Structure 1
C-alpha cells in the first residue's frame, strides 16, 4: 500500500467495521451516518449516490487526511436498489501531492492548493502550499469528488515577464492532471460485487449459475456426498478492467461469454460452474482429487484466448487457483477461500497460470481499487489523448471528450477516422518535422525528465487549424509499451482569458 494511503475502510450500513491496516486506526470504527462531523456529508453522498472527497480534516488518532467515500448500492431479488454501505480510502495530506508540488517548485513556481471541505460549503481550505506568500497568482478552478478545488500559482520571485503566462497556465493544467491521476489511482474501493450482490440463481448474461445458485447446488450435493473428495476452483480474467475501459463493456461482456462457454466445454458435465460476479468464476469438480484435476486445470489456464475489437484480434489470459476438500479445507464451504488464496498467489507471480493451494501461501484479504478510464477522462480539465511513443508508428490509442470537441469530431470513432489513428495527422504538415524532432530531442536529452513541451497548429475536422500547446509525458504501459500521455491547450482560448 502506498505511503500516502493511511487506510482502506468498509462500512456496511454506514458503520465502519473493517479497516486495513487496523493498527493505529482503531478510532476509525465509527457510525458515519450519525457522526457529528461526518454525518451531514455522508448522508448527502448517500442521497445523491455520489463519491465525495471530504476534508482535509484532522483525525482523532492524529494526522491530516482526505476521506474518499463511495456509497455502494446493490439490488435485491426484485431488482430494487438499496443502500449497502460505504467503501473508503483515507489519504494523508499533503503527502499525496508531494511529487506534484516538488515538480512545480522545480519549474520555478510557488503554489497553493485549496478545496471546499465538502459539497455543502463554499469556503475554501488550504490543502497544501509553498512557503512564499502568493501575490496576484494565476488560479485554476476545477471540480473533483463533489468538491471545488483551486490551484493558484505564480513565478518564484514575482512576475517579471508576461510572456510566461501561457506556460504558467499550461503547467498549472498539467499539474492538475497529475493531481487527478495521483488521486484517482487510489480513489475507489471496488464495489465488492462478488461478495454483496444478491441476484436470482442464474446469471442473466452468461446463463451460468450465479453465486447464490452455486451455493444452493453445493448444499444439495453435500447432503449425500459429505465423505467424497472435491476440488474447488476460482478463476478470473487478467486485466479485465483494462479490457472494459479501453475496448468497452460490450467487448468485456463478449470475453465473459466466451470464457463461460469454454468452462462448460472444458470441465465435466456434473461440475458446478458459476459466475461469481464481475470477471470471476467458481467451479466445483465432484468426486475428484487435486492431483487428478491438475492436468485439466493447467491446460485450461494456458489455453490461447483472444477477442476481436474493430477487426483486430487481442490476446487475453486468465489466472486460476484451486484447493481440495478435505485435504486443504475442513469444510467444503471453505474450499473457495483456499482457492482464492491460491489465485492471489498466481497474481503475485505474474498472472496467467494456475496453482493448487499450499499452506505456505500468504493468507491475506484482497482489496481491489478501481476507477474507470471513462470516469477519469470525462472529468479532466482539458483535451487529452494517448498515442504510441514509436517513431515508426505513432498510433493514437485514446482521446477524451474535450479532445474530440477541440478537433470538431462527434465521437471517438469519428476522431480515429479523421486522424487515421496517427498523431502525425493532427499536426499541420509544415509543423510536423519540427514538432517530432523537438519532442524526441527533449525526451532523449532528459532535460525535462519524461516530459516534452511543443507548440503547433492542430488539425480540425472542418479543415482549419488551431494553435495549441502540447504537454506530453512518456510512460511505460503494460499493454502497449512506451506511450505518450498528452494534454493539449488551445492558445487562442487562453488569450481570451489572459492578456500577454
Structure 2
C-alpha cells in the first residue's frame, strides 16, 4: 500500500510542483518578455525621437538661414527666389518672408497662396504670430490642411534688427511650411517597418498644454511607450506600441503545452532562465560600458574600483586620470569624427599597454581614468611616464596626425581614504600638469596648493571664444595658408554659422577671404614685413563674406612658432566701418 502511495503521491507531488513551476515560469517569462519588448520600444522611441527632432530642426533651420540673410543685409533680402530655391527640398511646401508681419514673398509661387497675408492681424494666425513677435521665439502652427492637399506645419521665426545704439526693432518673420508627414517620413516609415503603431503629437500652442495629433495612428494606443521632447518651447510626444502588443500569447501557449512533459518542462525552463540571465548580463554590460571606446564608462569604472577597495581595504593602489591636450582644437580643426577617432585610438593604446587586471574607464569627453591594483606610486611612475611620452596618432581623411596627453596620478591609502578622494587627488595632479604646459605626467603631492580647474579653462575658452573681436589662426606658409581656428566673432563677421561653413566657402585658405584683386598686394605687404624682421602691422583689405559680399577690414597679426602646427599667424580682424562709426573721420585716411 505504501509503495502504491509513493508511486502515485510522489509523481502527483512532482506533477503539482512541476505545474506550479511551469505556471510560475510562464508568468516570469511573460513579464520578462513584456519588459524586454518595452525596453526595445523605449530604445526605439528614443532613437526615432532623436531622428524626428533632427528632421524638424533641419526644416526649422531654413528659417534661421533666411533670418541670417535678412540680418546680414540689414533688413534687405536680395534674390529671395534664388536663395529659397537652394533651400527647398521634398519636405518643404513653401518658403516665405513677412516684413512687418505681412507675407510679401512666397517660393514657389505656383500652387501657393499669392495674396498678401497680414499674420499679425489674421484671425487664424494673429494670436500665435503676435506671441512669436512679442516673445522673440519661433512658433509652430499646425498641422494645417494645405490648399494644395495634405497637411503642413507653419514655422515662423521672428527677426529683430539692431541699430547702432544696440536697440532692437521687429523686422518681420522668416517662414517655412513643412509638409506632414514628409518632414519626418523616414522615421515614421522605419517605425512602421519595425512593427510599431505610433502617434506623434505636440502642444497646440506655447500657452496651451493640450496635445494635438500630428501624424500616426489616430486611435488611442493602449499603454504605449511614451517619449517627450521639446522643440523651441513646444512639447512634442511620440507614443509607440508593437502591433502585436507586448505579449506573444502564442509563444506562452506553446510553452504551457510543452511543459506537460516534465523533461521538456525542465529543458524549456532552463532555456528560458539562460535567456533571461543572458539578457540581464547584456543590459548590465551596456549600462557600464562606454559605447564609443568599449571600455568602462564612469559608472562602471566607479563600481569596479569601489568593489576592489571594499574587498581589499589595506592594499595599496593607484588611480591615474588623463585627457587629450587641446582636444577642442582637434574637434574644431579636423571635425568631431576625427575627435572620436582620437578617443578610440587612445582607448586602444590603453588596452594594449596596461595589463588585464588594470581597470580602464572613460569619465566623459576626452577624460579617462586608470585604476592599477596592488601597487605604489613609485612602482608605476616610470611605467606611466613611458605611456604618457609615447606618440599617439589618429587619422583624418587618410592623413595621420599626432596628439599628446596629460596625466596625473595618486596613491591609496597614502593620500586618500576612499575612491572619490583618491580621484580628486589624481584630478588635481592632472591639472597641475596642465598648468605647467601639458604633455606631462605627475604624481599628486600631499599639501601642494594646486590651482583650480576653473582657472585652467579661463585661458582657452574664455579668452578665445569670448574675445571681444574677430580672431583667426592660419598657417604662415605662402603655399599653404590653411585656416586652423576662428572664434565666434570672426564667424559672425563673415556671416558663417560654424567653423565648417567658414572652411567650406574659403577652401580652408586665408587668402580666399581677401578680395581677388587685393590678394597679391596684401600677401606681399604681409611677407615683406615678416621678412624684414617685423611683426605684421595693420593691413587694409576687403574681406569676402559667406554670402559673396565684401566688407572693409583692418588686419593686425603676429607670427608664432607652434609646437604642433609649425609657424602660424595669430590675427585680429577689425571691421573698418564699425571703427569709423565710433572714431570718426580720422580713420578714413587708413582706407585711402
Calculate the TM-score normalised by the size of structure 2. Answer: 0.42
| Between structures 1 and 2, the one with greater helix share | 2
Normalising to structure 1: TM-score of the pair? 0.49
Structure showing greater radius of gyration is: 2
